[in-house]
Amino acid sequence: MKITIQSPGEKTIKIAIPTRMLFNGLTAKLGFASIRKYVSTEELNLSSADLKRLVKEIRKTKNKYPHLELVNVESSDGSKIIIKL
């Protein structure tokens, strides 16, 4: 996954994180623990198995659509944030 942050007049920041490192069983567990801590089950009823399934699907997506631009935000002042898988 690549995150690019561009601001006019400032250096472009590029962060590359291996997708496997970001989305794996361990991060799914950690993510689940964080969600449980900050979000009530009424707001989001997510199980650990659901999160694992999501992680698996994200990895599948990465293989199917390498470098897919997930999010592209352009603000009126010229700042840009791009998140690529």
Partner 1 sequence: MSKSIGNRISQLRREKGITQEDMAERLGVTPQAVSKWENDISYPDILLLPKISKLLGVTVDELLSGESKKDTEFLPEGKRKNIDDMMFRIYVNSAAGDKVRVNLPMALVKMGLEMGMNMPQVSGNDALKEINFEQLIYMVESGLIGKLVEVESADGDTVEIVVE
Binding residues (CB under 8 A) for partner 1: these are: 44-46, 50, 53-54, 57-58, 60-61, 64-65, 68-76
The pair of structure tokens assigned to 81 is 């944030």
Residue 7 near residue 81 (C-beta atoms within 8 A): no
Quick one: 27 or 61, whose CB is closer to partner 1?
Answer: 61
Q: How far is the CB of 33 from partner 1 (least distance, A)?
A: 17
- Burial class of residue 55 in the structure, from the number of CB atoms within 10 Å of its CB (0-12 exposed, 13-18 middle, 19+ buried): buried
**Least gap, CB of 60 to partner 1 (angstroms):** 8
Residue 38 one-letter amino acid: Y
In angstroms, give the least distance from the CB of 28 to partner 1: 12
Q: Which is nearer to partner 1, 33 or 73 (CB)?
A: 73
Nearest residue (CB) to partner 1, 26 versus 47 = 47
| Residue 19, Ramachandran bin (φ over 0: left; ψ between -120 and 50: alpha; else beta) | alpha
